[in-house]
Amino acid sequence: MKHDFHAILFTSLMACLTCMPASAEAPPEGFRPLFDGKTLDGWQGRPHFSPIELAKMSESDATSKITDWTDQATVHWTVENGELVNDGAGPYLVTSEDFGDYELLIEYKTVQLADSGIYLKGTPQVQIWDSTNESARKLGADKGSGGLWNNSAGAPGKDPSVLADKPFGEWNSFRIIQVGARTSVWLNDKMVVDHAIMENYWDRQSPLFATGPIELQTHGGEIRWRNLFVREYSAEEANDYLSQHRSEGFESIFNGSDLSGWKGPLDDYEVVEGAIRCKPGRGGLLLFDKEYSNFVARVEFRLPPGGNNGLALRSPGVGDTAYNGMCELQVLDSEHPKFAKLDARQYHGSAYGMAAAHRGYLRETGEWNFQEVTVDGSRIKVELNGNVILDTDLSEVTDFMADRAHPGKDRASGYFGFAGHNDPVEFRKVSIKQLPSPMK
């Protein structure tokens, strides 16, 4: 018996399409779906609950709590025609996976007076609400959806820059990029948040968590979600993304080929594949031969296991920059076992001996990290991989490690460079933007 090839192919295609949810789309290149369009596989229930408190629980207690939340969630969440549907009540829906640096695509459709949002890394939230709701006007509803609503009053990103919501009954689309805490949001193809730091609602004194789940918040009315896709960034992609933003005014101070323009023990350093590397067993102050007062420095660095180095800030050019310079900003494999018992002011990103940085934001040993350091007057801000890990005023420091004074901390200018400590730590893509000197 002969068969019509085209008829068979058509029948097969139709059968395949029939199996697909009617509203589902194929993921864009490089993305993968978070929702299969048919089940709640890969999702758990969770209400507005602190990840910090959840982490404090025993494994059995946490599992029991999550199971209970998930059971409750199935009462209020259903799947219809390839859409996640919530009736406006019950626990939220949270991914079973955690994410670090990523791009998220998601569509939603809601109703009048509903209030919702998207928790990123388990933290509230990219806001979704009814911009026509007069009773919520005082909360900022009239500005529209997409803002990082739980940021502090007046903080960048708290309010969306434009009103981009579509009328009720239409689907809205989000594109969200989060690298570290740096968050950008597009609503219906309009940028509403531009590279803002998302604050840690659960602990205002700490940066946003390094990783965490994506959570769909729902209350006050039905909301539907569809076409949930994610693309995770590699370390290289994340670093490139961070380096491209607000790059105006930066001047490269390392040519990637040799140590032209640098001074100090040049023989103790080498240039390998576009990076400055301290030779094993060698070190000392390698400084760019230009003095700076106020500036922003950007650099990528890579640590070997147990690696130790530092950034010299406002160094006089000789001596121990940790004490006679403004400070040595630690570059350290903080989680290596040999550093388990250091003073908190000795770990990566800390102003050595004076101010402790937050830990837990280094990439895996052997990967390149992106760091931005702002020196403005007596203030130092350190942003590591998109997370602010130190923001301090050295003029206010009175408690010093081992009671050893730092006479150079109030220096107004000096050299920038690296303070090698015998380990082959590497630096590349070194650039500086000068800032205005303060008014006298």
Residue 85 pLDDT grade (very low, low, confident, very high; cuts 50, 70, 90): very high
Q: Which residue has the tokens 């895996």?
A: 364
pLDDT over 70 (residue 10): no
Q: Which residue has the tokens 């303060």?
A: 438
pLDDT over 90 (residue 224): yes
C-alpha dihedral (219, 224, 226, 229), degrees to nearest 10:
-10
CB 283 within 8 A of CB 268: yes
Work out the average pLDDT over 192-198.
98
Please list, in sequence order, all residues whose beta carbon lies within 8 angstroms of the beta carbon of residue 315, skipping any fewer than 6 positions away: 285, 287, 321, 324, 325, 326, 414, 415, 416, 417
Residue 438 pLDDT grade (very low, low, confident, very high; cuts 50, 70, 90): low
Please list, in sequence order, all residues whose beta carbon lies within 8 angstroms of the beta carbon of residue 5, skipping any fewer than 6 positions away: none
Q: What is the pLDDT of residue 130?
A: 83
**If residue 315 lies in a helix (H) or strand (E), which one and from where to where?**
strand 308-315
Of 127, 81, 105, 97, which Cα lies nearest the Cα of 219?
127
Q: What is the pLDDT of residue 5?
A: 35
pLDDT over 90 (residue 17): no
Work out the average pLDDT over 236-241.
98
pLDDT over 50 (residue 177): yes
> Can you count the helices (H) and strands (E) in the chain?
5, 26
Residue 305 pLDDT grade (very low, low, confident, very high; cuts 50, 70, 90): very high
pLDDT over 60 (residue 129): yes
Work out the average pLDDT over 289-316.
98
Residue 21 pLDDT grade (very low, low, confident, very high; cuts 50, 70, 90): low
Rg over alpha carbons for the chain, rounded to the nearest Å, is 26
3-class DSSP assignment, residue 107: strand
Structural domains for the chain = 20-232 (2.60.120.560), 239-434 (2.60.120.560)
Q: What is the pLDDT of residue 440?
A: 45
Work out the average pLDDT over 169-196.
98
Q: What is the pLDDT of residue 24?
A: 67
pLDDT over 80 (residue 11): no
Residue 257 pLDDT grade (very low, low, confident, very high; cuts 50, 70, 90): very high
Question: Which of 2-16, 23-37, 89-103, 214-228 shows the lowest per-residue confidence on average (mean pLDDT)?
Answer: 2-16
Comparing 16 with 208, which gets the higher pLDDT? 208
Work out the average pLDDT over 174-202.
98
Instruction: Encode burial over 167-185: b for 16+ CB neighbours within 10 A, e otherwise.
Output: eeeebbbbbbbbbbbbbbb
Of 349, 354, 357, 351, which Cα lies nearest the Cα of 404?
354
DSSP 129: E
Q: What is the pLDDT of residue 307?
A: 98
Question: Which of 37-41, 111-115, 156-160 shows the lowest per-residue confidence on average (mean pLDDT)?
Answer: 111-115
pLDDT over 50 (residue 285): yes
Work out the average pLDDT over 348-361.
98
With pLDDT > 90 as the criterion, what percentage of the chain qualifies? 88
With pLDDT > 70 as the criterion, what percentage of the chain qualifies? 94
